[in-house]
Structure 1
């Protein structure tokens, strides 16, 4: 059951799966690593996550509705499920609560932080740690812009793209890579640094031994945060590559900044960040195979250090499959 997470190297991890504004009064059905998930809010507005499959006859619970009691009702036979998955009522079949427990739906740990819905990819009431959400998304005085679109690619290809600096002066030559494009020559050299962090690694790059261009954090398994160095200003570009299935990825872009927050300037800058994301799409979708292959099957160079670090982690994790996860202290945020 729920083998999709292991097959995608996505077992036992936190990931955002939706924006808070996408989950309203109606249940929201989505697919995560080929597994069906339903999100819904109870009568107090709290978000819950269940496997989008009624344990009775396998019908999608997302086709149902949330009652006044905050329970999710299956559209087929009216079975009702509380936020933790417990079956609260089976029409036409009166029985004591202790007997109904065997008819529960599969629930997942879920959190709502920073305008995002986070899900832990292992069924159960508790997760061993809290999600590594960026603190800046809840900071006062910061404008947060969110945007999502779906690409035709396995999630590992866009994830590597987001960790790749050498493509900036080529794919983004007219936008964020323009400055680097103007400075490079035929003999230019880019030096990459990759340092482990509690939630993944941090990478930076230099041209010809100059100052670091920017800091980029990989947040296991599928998150990235680029801190743009602007004196006395906050600008952080976050990206999560959320697997839908083996050939589709939902790209969730979240920008946080403490300037240009008023219209029409905010709308112009938000549109710019969306356009930068779309510049990557054609290259990523054309990559073959769709999923990143073993390191030995492609030719790599020194400037691939960050992407290779991610690839080795992913391939090793996928080989191991789901693991027993022991509780551990919450890691400090690297992207606050």
Structure 2
């Protein structure tokens, strides 16, 4: 298979050559797990040692979905159509009814993707090949001892850029989230209140902070390039961080992957109560984001923006520049955004 064909969907979404979570660990069991990332089909499966592997969900023989097949005791994925078998490297290990030496079977390999299992998530590198140039930037708190980690995912009818901008947008908190996390901000607001926004470059994207009428917020948002957000919830002597990953499925759908981390309320039933509350906060955003027109974040000049849009505009400029340049035009060690 020509590798460049595999890049079309990723490049079209400005999503080539990046690490992204695509599934929760618990979703990948004994059966192959098929999914779509930026319009490209991927199949995840566990080999005979329980390690997650990723292939293009397309058999090189007749193009059927490998995710409809099964994993054998040897850890190879078997195509459901003609029984071709592929190992974790994509190598074709057996073609029924067509005996041939191994060196000849090499031309029948499937396409593989780098994949890691970290923090209860499955991370995929969006370029085919056996090696990735770096490792995924997994927030340390997701793997920290003594931390309660809760994972949740659902799909929205939205482009990933609109969802990502929403997650980096603090001015919407007192309006969309007035009955939940935005309540304190709403109650402090006056008709002539002023919010001031700051954006600080970081190795993984940027951090944003804000103040209302000169009073700085103790909370903060962090962009985890390309499609992640971390919210630091200020609780004295406690750890609580909410992480959101906006994973493109296709041009009109985004998988919203929520990871809640904290060092308190770790046991049932109170843990379930707080986790449901976090799900409620997420869904407060859904109708607004899905109503965006155009569905994809447009060039900056096509919408009217103000000073409190600094964070979302910083992301948008990064996205539009990356999409314009195409895959591999930007180094994996990208320079931080200017403030």
Q: TM-score, normalised by structure 2?
A: 0.95
1:242 aligns with 247
Q: Are residue 31 (structure 1) and residue 36 (structure 2) matched? A: yes
1:334 aligns with none
- Residue 328 of structure 1 deviates from its aligned partner by 5.6
1:323 aligns with 328
- Residue 324 of structure 1 deviates from its aligned partner by 5.7
Q: Are residue 40 (structure 1) and residue 45 (structure 2) matched? A: yes
Give per-residue Cα distances to partners, 1:55-86, cap 9 Å, x unaligned: 00001000000001100000001000000111
Q: Which moved more, 1:307-316 or 1:258-267?
A: 258-267
Q: Are residue 127 (structure 1) and residue 132 (structure 2) matched? A: yes
Structure 2's unaligned 5+ residue stretches are: none
- Equivalenced residue count is 330
Give per-residue Cα distances to partners, 1:154-198, cap 9 Å, x unaligned: 100010000000000000001000000000101111111101111
Contact 1:128 1:328 in 2 (8 A): no
Any runs of at least 4 consecutive aligned residues in structure 1 with deviations exceeding 6 A, and if so which?
none
Q: Are residue 60 (structure 1) and residue 65 (structure 2) matched? A: yes
Query: Counterparts of 1:267-278 in structure 2 under 5 Å?
Result: 267-278=272-283
Q: Are residue 219 (structure 1) and residue 229 (structure 2) matched? A: no
2:195 aligns with 190
1:166 aligns with 171
Query: Counterparts of 1:187-336 in structure 2 under 5 Å?
Result: 187-323=192-328
2:92 aligns with 87
- Residue 211 of structure 1 deviates from its aligned partner by 2.3
- Residue 261 of structure 1 deviates from its aligned partner by 1.0
Give per-residue Cα distances to partners, 1:72-130, cap 9 Å, x unaligned: 00000100000011111111111111111111100000000000000000001111110
Q: What is the rounded CA distance, in whole Å, between the counterparts of 2:33 and 2:197 in structure 1? A: 41
Q: What is the rounded CA distance, in whole Å, between the counterparts of 1:263 and 1:22 in structure 2? A: 22
Q: What is the rounded CA distance, in whole Å, between the counterparts of 2:60 and 2:313 in structure 1? A: 41
Match of 1:17 among 16, 22, 32: 22
CA RMSD of aligned residues (A): 1.3
